[in-house]
Amino acid sequence: MSPIQNHAQNKAKLISETRRRFEAEYVTDKSDKYDARDVERLQQDDNWVESYLSWRHNIVDETLKMLDESFQWRKEISVNDLNESSIPRWLLEIGVIYLHGYDKEGNKLFWIRVKYHIKDQKTISDKKKLIAFWLERYAKRENGKPVTVMFDLSETGINSIDMDFVRFIINCFKVYYPKYLSKIVIFDMPWLMNAAFKIVKTWLGPEAVSLLKFTSKNEVQDYVSVEYLPPHMGGTDPFKYSYPPLVDDDFQTPLCENGPITSEDETSSKEDIESDGKETLETISNEEQTPLVKKINPTESTSKAEENEKVDSKMKAFKKPLSVFKGPLLHISPAEELYFGNTESGEKKTLIVLTNVTKNIVAFKVRTTAPEKYRVKPSNSSCDPGASVDIVVSPHGGLTVSAQDRFLIMAAEMEQSSGTGPAELTQFWKEVPRNKVMEHRLRCHTVESSKPNTLTLKDNAFNMSDKTSEDICLQFATSSCETDCSPP
């Protein structure tokens, strides 16, 4: 048995034991202590169980105590039922807590603007709910991806120092949301708070205290690039918090909606063909701005059918059965991360494959946090029942792929009578209810070489999810196959 298989087997045993013992020792005759939805989720969500186990170093006894404390808190604060209406409007408007931007490792930034917090026992309960609301909202979307807490202490006075509130935030990451803390970046801490943060270090414990990063304007850029820092931190981010609506993930329309400008695309296609014969994706006619749906119209001429057949075979050569996210409307491949090669490797493009698993037409849109970096073809279209669509994603203008970059797939079912032209799709997205829209997020990853070092992959196998490991291996296999299958 390989080390990876042995690791997976041990993990499965620990998850099973944790579930069995929690049910037997904590839930029996005490079911009113917990929200039934949390108990049910514990039995179904392996990642959730693993997050508690790993935080307690796979010691089941300690994990069970942590689950007990966490689940009681989740019921007490009604975490599963928190929504915008649970939070006083003034608290959402003030902008003391929100999610926005990414650090240099690609972790979401969880901002706490301490100057807007005034110590007040009457409002502390609502502020704790606000913290839980944002963390739960994020956890449901990213499922295990850590956040970096930005404790912005600039312009902070004595009235803002609230150790009970700080302790609650620490507990959120120590007990309630294990594995979600990447680091805590403390910016511009006043000297009068030195003693207070010595206490905070004891709350964190010796293992987590290294996650505290004390910074000024000079050091904060070691962790967050200027594009995601506000001007008072030496950054260039023009973002200004406002509500409503809720601050979301900053996804925007990428370049080349439904295909790039023809003249620009023709130029880049010629350059691609001349510089790298391996790239086969641009062989589709540049005049066509429709998705690459793998169906051939029987009324087409023989020559056109043959041409499509050749293109289809090349696409199949590029595309491998990567891990799949199985959503209610679309199956999306890859499931978690898009893998791009670097400039030296020549593998610049990647595919997102959407498969419609409904009986109706599904409209979809692709958004990204870095719209200036990427071309996406198509980024706004539809997919017939049972059909698949290949979305080509390529970096634009020599810009570098970053782990901070994200893609968002949005999808919604259309009525049978609805048209699927640009005007109809625009109107559809204006009218479709938010609760009818499926969303799925993808992270970006750069593969350094198309010829991986086996030892490196083996050494890092335990630091990545099974899906991530599978996607990396298949990406390398894809690169090799594409090189072999390309025309001379």
Segment 225-247, tens digit of pLDDT:
998 899 999 999 888 888 877 77
How far is CA 331 from each of CA 324, 336, 362, 388, 443, rounded to the nearest angstrom?
Answer: 6, 12, 12, 9, 17
Short-list 277, 273, 295, CA closest to 286: 273
**Predicted local confidence at residue 299, as pLDDT:** 44
Q: Count the Cβ atoms, other than its own, within 10 Å of residue 112.
A: 20
Rounded-to-integer distance, Cα 68 and Cα 421, Å? 53
Does 141 score more than 60 pLDDT?
yes
Cβ partners under 8 Å of residue 209, min gap 6: 201
Segment 95-109, tens digit of pLDDT:
999 998 889 888 889
Does 421 score more than 70 pLDDT?
yes
The lowest-confidence range among 115-129, 153-167, 298-312 is: 298-312
Q: Which residue has the higher pLDDT, 445 or 409?
A: 409
Does 72 score more than 90 pLDDT?
yes
Using DSSP's 3-state secondary structure scheme, residue 432 falls into: coil
Short-list 209, 136, 199, CA closest to 162: 199
**Predicted local confidence at residue 266, as pLDDT:** 33
Q: Which residue has the higher pLDDT, 392 or 462?
A: 392
Band of the pLDDT at 91, cuts 50, 70, 90?
very high
Give pairs for 167-171: CB < 8 Å, separation 24+: 167/200, 167/203, 168/128, 168/131, 169/112, 169/131, 170/200, 170/203, 170/204
Are the C-beta atoms of 94 and 62 separated by less than 8 Å? no
Rounded-to-integer distance, Cα 55 and Cα 142, Å? 18
Residue 377, strand partner residues: 392
Does 367 score more than 80 pLDDT?
yes
Q: Percent of the chain having pLDDT more than 90?
A: 31
Rounded-to-integer distance, Cα 411 and Cα 171, Å? 36
Rounded-to-integer distance, Cα 420 and Cα 43, Å? 41
Band of the pLDDT at 396, cuts 50, 70, 90?
confident
Region 337-364 average pLDDT:
82
- The two three-digit tokens of residue 473, written as one number: 């291996």
- The two three-digit tokens of residue 406, written as one number: 């994200």
Segment 146-195, tens digit of pLDDT:
899 999 989 887 777 788 888 898 889 888 998 888 999 999 988 877 77
Q: Count the Cβ atoms, other than its own, within 10 Å of residue 43.
A: 12
| pLDDT mean across residues, the chain | 76
